[in-house]
Structure 1
Amino acid sequence: MKIYGKYWLLVVLLIVVSCADSLLVASNLAGPLTALAISLFASLAGWYWLVKNIQKDQQQVASYLRNPNLTRPGFQRKNFFGSIFTEAIHKIEESDTELTSTKQVKTMLKARVNTLLKKEALLESVLGCLDHGVLVFDAQHELEFSNTAANPFLIPESDRLENHLDSSLSLGKALINNAVIPELSQLLAKTIERKAATQHRRIEFDFTVNGTRSHFRAIATNLRDEHEQVLGTVVVVENIGEENNQKTKHAEFVSSVAHELKTPMSGIKAYVEMLIDGDCDEEESQELYGFINQQIDRLTRLVNSMLNLARIESGVVEIKRHDCELNDILKSSADVISPNATEKDIAFSTELSDLYLPVHVDKDMLGQAIINLLSNAVKYTPHGHEVRLRSRMEDASAVIEVRDTGLGIPEDSLPHIFDRFYRVPENNASAAGTGLGLALVHFIVTNVHNGAISVQSKVNEGTCFTITIPLGHKEQKKKKQLASPANA
């Protein structure tokens, strides 16, 4: 440790003072007691000066510590504690720098952790909103995560058994069988077992959820990192019951179309072959030409009906809904059918509500639906019977009834009456048809106008179709919404 000049001088003076009494006695300048007193006084003065200087240096160090500006030129040279103080300040500055750096790193890590937590929460929220069930297993085959849609495929902890897989796998965990239903546990086991061969495996199975049995598809995928190390396995379960129903309906539709087209085409081919062979006289030929013409008309009706239904369902036909008075639409539809009813000597009557029935509908589409119902009623009602068209208001809905006293519909046919190409077998001989008219009516009422349609019928007593659509004009609703704040 460096000792500065004033302290060296003090040390020399103290040495001289300690020898002063001996020098004074030896030189006969003072007596022993006087020399001792002088030496003691000089020593006390020297030590007093030393303590004062050290206290002064301490005070200076303390004042420098309190002062933000810790750098002082010549401080190390002038102060007894200068080198220690400078070294301490250096260490403090290094520690402060390290502390600042640590705080910055801590802040960055905290921000990164918060970001990751938000991303994790966002990811869990997204997975929770999916209709597909998602189950994630870690590398040890333990269930790590499952969303809400996957809950039906989990086995409650109270029902889990310590059973092991019926497989040659040594997975080391029985949770695959214990945590999920057997179908998924078997899929998961096979996926893990064959992870080297394929990354994906899928199965389809039937399962009951909330009392409803449906068909599901499950896809298991092995997850790997950038080094091809297995991180775990994810299983995605999708309800494909509706998809299968659509496929079935599509297949039935194609089959029905093929059948409906095949029948008249077979008749046409047979008649044409007879004409080509020349086995018919002039009168028979004319009769065959008439049959051919009828079959062509049947094909034309069928194709047109399919095109109309397809165009409306696919959105090719633009839906133009406007504020209308329901009775005006019903009157126009009745005027179209009235001549047909008169031709068959059918008593056709209208009993329309005296009230104004405001509706927001596509006038042409709804009119076509009413015409289809009235046309069927006239078609399947014998001569001399009755067809009636009614309208009324019921709560917040407009109700339309098309009632006849015709052949009626057997009870076992009622659930299928709105199916495409379905025709009541008992009534097929009564009138020609494609079986698409009521399907089109059902679509226009339910899908286009958010309404409902039902049917009641008794064989040989008649049939009643009831349509319900919402009441109200769109413009009036807007005015009421705008007026509400002012009225409040």
Structure 2
Amino acid sequence: MFKLPEWLLRADRRIQELNLFRRIFIMMFPLMIAAIGVFEITIRWFDIHAIEYAHIWIILIPLIFSIIISYLSARFTAKEVAHPIKLFIESAKAIARGNFDHKVNVHTSEEMTQLSRIFNYMTRELKEINQGNIRKTIQEKIKTEAIIRNIADGIIVVGPLNEVLMINEVVEGWFHVQQKAVIGFSLNFFFPELKFLVKQALDTQGETVFQDELTIKPLNSPSEIYLGANASKVMDNDDLIALVIVLRNITKEKEIDRMKTELVNVVAHELRSPLTSIAGFSEIIKDPHLSEAIRKEYIDIIHYESGRLAEMISKFLDISRIESGKTVINKVPCDLTTVVDNTITANTPMAQKRSMHVSSTLPKWVPLVHADPDLIGQVVLNFFSNAVKYSPEGSEIKLRVAVADDTVIVEVSDNGYGISKENMKHLFQKFFRAKDEKHVKDVEGTGLGLAFVKEIIHQHNGTIHVESEVGKGSSFSFALPIDFTLPENAALKPAS
């Protein structure tokens, strides 16, 4: 609160003293006149001599004059000094109440006029300072609100009575509400998922941070998201001002936890099988009575399981390296027809073992792309091997290379078991395997192949497309952009 200067307070007290003196004189003046009259009657009554009478008046007259002069001086002081100071005091009080447009107009003397000018100048300066502070406060408020509304985390501010004071844009999107619609209403009405967290925070003493997790389904998200909620109290001494709830999207962390769990399961299941075979048959071949033919058969099994184990470990390492950017991608002018032809030629025996028919539609010439032939070959092999594994014996696998718009497309299709719509959502997630379908639950795999494919195509600025229907088969394709900077593709360069 604004406090008046000490000199103004002292002046105010002096004014009050002068006014008191003036009121006392006004009250005493009639008594003085009456006393003089009584004195005159007494002199006449007792027949005091003229000389003595004159002496008495010589004493009374100066006394009366001094009293009159004091009274006039007090009135003059009150008018010329005290009244202006009183105006200054009233003006100071008005300014203290925030009225910075108040002015003092005192012209009783040159000094008072100068003082009033200085006082008014001070008032103008205070007004400018006050307006500057208000502008600064408003700017800081706007800045703070802008930061809160655009922060990546969700923010909800709740009052002591559980009423919503503010939310940011992230919360608006997650919960399908608008700030103007929820302000002042109970948190439980619009955010029932948080009522237990808030109740726990409000019912507990101190400034402890409370945590919780919840699951919501935003309109703009294809699936549910996980939120971590932290509630912190804002206290003023022992009074609760507000409760700030910070919501953070922890879906990725949850997904990482899921992947870690699945990795452990995959490692435990997939690696245990070949290791068990290796350990078992290694123990058996120690038997000196074992025939050479059986010993050779068991050694072949150990060799096969060792290769399968090495392949799994290699896939783990490959996807880890490419995701971390440690894989060296040697992009060169690449003919995808040649890559597909070489890959299928080398792996057709895989399909022949299951009596499958493999056909391909490969044009004599396609535009070149800028790619790593070895990595793209692994993509083609993954699509092809999946078609072999997830199709019944005797089925057909088709391969096609074509040009569409500014890309070259490679497609591998089959008439196998197909993929359900639910499993399609998770198809490219690491360690995901569609074990819930009866035809594929016993198919061996790590669940890393398609995740590896997705990362390779992403590194080549390409796209992947999948079509599938349960019982009718699947079609996997990828498209890579044509490199128009190569001389071989110059004639194909689109007009600018």
Partner of 1:468: 479
The equivalences for 1:58-69 within 5 A come to none
Are 1:256 and 1:421, in contact at CA under 8 Å, matched by a contact in 2? no
Partner of 2:213: 204
Give SS of 1:209's match: coil
Partner of 2:129: 108
Indicate yes or no: 2:272 matched with 1:251.
Answer: no
Deviation (angstroms), 1:458: 7.6
What amino acid sits opposite 1:110 in the alignment? Q
What amino acid sits opposite 1:422 in the alignment? R
Count of aligned positions? 374
Partner of 1:401: 411
Partner of 1:453: 465
- Structure 2 residue runs of 5 or longer lacking an equivalent are 1-105
Partner of 1:96: 117
Deviation (angstroms), 1:157: 11
Partner of 2:166: 145
Match for 1:220 among 195, 208, 231? 231
Q: 1-side partners of 2:364 and 2:132: how far apart?
A: 71
Are 1:301 and 1:434, in contact at CA under 8 Å, matched by a contact in 2? no
Q: 2-side partners of 1:178 and 1:336: how far apart?
A: 61
**1:148/1:439 Cα in 2 relative to 1: closer, same or farther (>3 Å)?**
closer
Deviation (angstroms), 1:334: 1.9
**1:464/1:138 Cα in 2 relative to 1: closer, same or farther (>3 Å)?**
closer
**1:386/1:363 Cα in 2 relative to 1: closer, same or farther (>3 Å)?**
same
Are 1:140 and 1:232, in contact at CA under 8 Å, matched by a contact in 2? no
Q: TM-score scaled to structure 1, two decimals?
A: 0.63
Deviation (angstroms), 1:453: 2.6
Partner of 2:339: 332
Partner of 1:130: 151
**1:186/1:285 Cα in 2 relative to 1: closer, same or farther (>3 Å)?**
same
Are 1:143 and 1:179, in contact at CA under 8 Å, matched by a contact in 2? no
The equivalences for 1:221-370 within 5 A come to 221-225=232-236, 227=237, 230-276=240-286, 278=288, 280-319=290-329, 324=333, 328-341=335-348, 344=352, 350-353=360-363, 356-357=366-367, 359-370=369-380
Q: Deviations over 1:437-463 (max 9, x none)?
A: 33322332356534123144786x875
**1:319/1:176 Cα in 2 relative to 1: closer, same or farther (>3 Å)?**
farther
Q: Deviations over 1:399-454 (max 9, x none)?
A: 2112457xx23445973665536378747989x75553333223323565341231
Q: 1-side partners of 2:345 and 2:459: how far apart?
A: 28
Are 1:396 and 1:471, in contact at CA under 8 Å, matched by a contact in 2? yes
Please identify, of 109-118 and 415-424, the stretch whose mean Cα deviation from structure 2 is larger. 415-424
Deviation (angstroms), 1:189: 2.4
Are 2:363 and 2:402, in contact at CA under 8 Å, matched by a contact in 1? yes
Q: 2-side partners of 1:150 and 1:462: how far apart?
A: 42
| Identical-residue share of aligned pairs (%) | 24
Q: 2-side partners of 1:246 and 1:214: how far apart?
A: 14
**1:195/1:181 Cα in 2 relative to 1: closer, same or farther (>3 Å)?**
same
RMSD over aligned Cα atoms: 4.3
What amino acid sits opposite 1:104 in the alignment? E
Please identify, of 287-296 and 198-207, the stretch whose mean Cα deviation from structure 2 is larger. 198-207
**1:87/1:284 Cα in 2 relative to 1: closer, same or farther (>3 Å)?**
same
Q: Deviations over 1:352-405 (max 9, x none)?
A: 346753545455433331233345557788999865432222344432112457
Give SS of 1:280's match: coil
Deviation (angstroms), 1:202: 1.7
**1:200/1:402 Cα in 2 relative to 1: closer, same or farther (>3 Å)?**
same
Deviation (angstroms), 1:307: 0.8
**1:474/1:116 Cα in 2 relative to 1: closer, same or farther (>3 Å)?**
farther
Partner of 1:4: none
Q: Deviations over 1:19-42 (max 9, x none)?
A: xxxxxxxxxxxxxxxxxxxxxxxx
**1:465/1:146 Cα in 2 relative to 1: closer, same or farther (>3 Å)?**
closer
The equivalences for 1:74-89 within 5 A come to 88-89=109-110
Q: 1-side partners of 2:267 and 2:167: how far apart?
A: 45
Partner of 1:53: none
Q: 2-side partners of 1:433 and 1:184: how far apart?
A: 42
Match for 1:438 among 430, 450, 463? 450
Partner of 1:26: none
Deviation (angstroms), 1:349: 5.7
Are 1:321 and 1:362, in contact at CA under 8 Å, matched by a contact in 2? yes
Q: 2-side partners of 1:176 and 1:235: how far apart?
A: 14
Q: 2-side partners of 1:354 and 1:89: how far apart?
A: 108
Deviation (angstroms), 1:470: 4.1
Deviation (angstroms), 1:289: 1.8
Are 2:366 and 2:402, in contact at CA under 8 Å, matched by a contact in 1? no
Are 1:203 and 1:217, in contact at CA under 8 Å, matched by a contact in 2? yes
Are 1:136 and 1:233, in contact at CA under 8 Å, matched by a contact in 2? yes
Partner of 1:38: none
Are 1:452 and 1:469, in contact at CA under 8 Å, matched by a contact in 2? no
Q: TM-score scaled to structure 2, two decimals?
A: 0.62
Partner of 1:422: 433
Deviation (angstroms), 1:301: 0.6
What amino acid sits opposite 2:450 in the alignment? L
Deviation (angstroms), 1:221: 0.4
Q: 2-side partners of 1:186 and 1:443: how far apart?
A: 42
**1:207/1:281 Cα in 2 relative to 1: closer, same or farther (>3 Å)?**
same
Are 2:366 and 2:403, in contact at CA under 8 Å, matched by a contact in 1? no
What amino acid sits opposite 1:294 in the alignment? Y
**1:251/1:401 Cα in 2 relative to 1: closer, same or farther (>3 Å)?**
same
Partner of 2:34: none
What amino acid sits opposite 2:213 in the alignment? E
Deviation (angstroms), 1:145: 1.7
Deviation (angstroms), 1:242: 4.3
Partner of 2:383: 373
Deviation (angstroms), 1:297: 0.8
**1:448/1:101 Cα in 2 relative to 1: closer, same or farther (>3 Å)?**
farther
Are 1:338 and 1:348, in contact at CA under 8 Å, matched by a contact in 2? no
Partner of 2:42: none
Q: 2-side partners of 1:102 and 1:475: how far apart?
A: 77
Partner of 1:27: none
